[in-house]
Chains A and B, each alone.
Chain A
Amino acid sequence: MIELEKIAYSYGGGELLNDVSLKLAPGSFHFLTGPSGSGKTTFLKLCYGALIPTAGQVQLFGKDVRTMTRDDHAMTRRQIGVVHQDCQFLDHLPLRENVALPLTVSGRDSLEQHSNLKELLSWVGLGHRADALPPELSGGERQRAALARAVIMSPDVVLADEPTGNVDWEMSQRLLQLLVELNKMGKTILIATHDLNLIRSAKHHVQARVLRISGRKLQLAGADL
């Protein structure tokens, strides 16, 4: 579904990533780690086509990102659920509508989906906050809302960029739990985080592989976290 082959990326200065290859197998669970500024967010953006590699090939669902049109990109964003590092919402719409937005913009805003939405909101523990506006939410609530929005289209892949960035330990465990549950439902998960404790705690619940960005390369980290 997501295939990177010998890619390199640079924002114009020096190369940030070099000779990176990765093939996400369906149903797999990956962590992506590395120090702050090492290029985790950049890597995820390459994975959902927001950035085009400066060298090498990226294939999303069998399509080369270089030949994809703007509409193709819009369509892949419906197939890849992304929890962004800075979860952005439409601040003038209540949480319920923000979470349903991917359905709305793809014209799948049906009544049946509305009951799914209710279920989804209570799954992430936000059933009682459905009518709140995004600026009224706490950091943890925003992260969970972003996760709900990322999965409402039932994507095959969920990419999460520091989903536990600014929440307390208990909340980060809860978010991790939600991602593990998604993986058990068959979704492919890739979580970028610099929080090694989070990765360690996940090992009890799921068989995860850990990728580390180090020296512009992507390495499969051993068990020696």
Chain B
Amino acid sequence: MSKARRLSSLVVGDVQADRVVPPTGFTAQLTLFAAGAMAFLAVFALALSLASGRLAARWGAELAQSATLRISAPTEQVDAQTAVALSLLESTPGVASARALSAAEQRELLAPWFGPDLPIDTLPIPQLIEIVETDEGYDAAGLRLRLQAEVPGAVLDDHTRWRRPLEKAATRLRLLGWVSIVLIGAAMAAMITLAANAALAANAQVISVLRLIGAQDDYIASAFVRRFALRALSGSVVGTLVGALAILLLPSSQEEAGFLTGLGFEGVGWFFLALIPFVAVGVAYLATGAAARKTLSELS
């Protein structure tokens, strides 16, 4: 039988092929349960991957403007030191641009803490210089040494120092999520293989009768494959729905509220979610098919 015909009979259903194998209550329940549980877990692993992916992307984007130079000096020296610092930064490899913030911008930055009416000109507020780095980045330690020598009042606030590890962690978390999904799929394949082997062994007599009367391996295999694929389908649909519901029912997040409440599906995420049952069916199809072909090839 051709692959296409086998697939179509998988969907349309070959009632006769189904009937030749006697119904098995318990393995059927186990397969349903395993598929459901695995789909449920896959939903969370997927949510984790997608959320940490979003987080990594956001932090990555913010890293682009990643450093601030703070110059605290006696008022009369600030301008001079700022000029020195700017020219020094401009000649530093890895710095795309450097710009001193205007008084208005600084006031705006401080407003949340001190109110809008802060008399900024009369206070010894440090001058801030925003540094935008290139993709390669600059050598922070080297820059610090040069600043120490030429601009004694300068302090380099390198945001990358704490953000980059976070971005790395988020990227790693996303990877772990995908690895979990692969492991969940593999575990499901293993469980279905075991269940299929049990079913094949329990039906050894049926298989030998079918062989004797001229059934081809494909026909016999399809009777088992179809069953397990359908069980995996119904189990994983339920598991996916319950998992998705559980995630929808998580307390909803405020804007930027953090990682935990950021678990959820948006856009293409829903597509991945809907893919879970199909992947489960595919896994069941392949696992049962392989188990059946192996068992059958060992028979006379």
Contacts and interface: CB of A to CB of B under 8 A. Distances in A.
Interface of A: 50, 70-71, 74-78, 82, 84, 88-93, 97, 101-102, 104-106, 109, 149, 153
Interface stretch (B56-64, B137-145, B207-215): B207-215
19 contacts: A50-B300, A70-B296, A74-B214, A74-B216, A74-B217, A75-B216, A77-B211, A78-B214, A82-B212, A88-B205, A88-B212, A90-B20, A92-B22, A101-B213, A102-B213, A105-B210, A105-B213, A105-B219, A106-B215
A57 B16 CA distance: 37
* Chain B contact residues: helix, strand, loop or mixed: helix
Interface-central residue, A74, A75, A102, A153, by most chain B CB under 10 Å: A74
B215 A97 contact: no
B250 to A, nearest CB: 48
B206 interface: yes
Given A74-B214, A88-B212, A105-B210, 14 more contacts: A50-B300, A70-B297, A71-B216, A71-B217, A74-B211, A77-B211, A77-B214, A84-B212, A90-B209, A93-B20, A97-B19, A101-B213, A105-B213, A153-B214
Contacts, number: 56
A104 to B, nearest CB: 5
Interface in B1-32: 16, 19-20, 22
B90 to A, nearest CB: 77
Interface of B: 16, 19-20, 22, 205-206, 208-217, 219, 296-297, 300
Nearest to B209: A88
Nearest to A84: B212
Contact of B215 (A50, A74, A149): A74
A82 B217 CA distance: 19
B20 A77 contact: no
Contacts of B213: 77, 101-102, 105, 149
Contacts of A109: 16
Nearest to A102: B213
A190 B234 CA distance: 50
Contact of A104 (B16, B296, B297): B16
A20 to B, nearest CB: 21
Nearest to B296: A70
Contacts of A78: 214
Given A70-B297, A71-B217, A90-B206, A105 B212 contact: no
A183 to B, nearest CB: 22
B208 A88 contact: yes
A93 B213 CA distance: 15
A82 B216 CA distance: 17
Nearest to A76: B214
A105 B19 CA distance: 11
Nearest to A97: B19
A104 B216 CA distance: 12
A105 B219 CA distance: 7
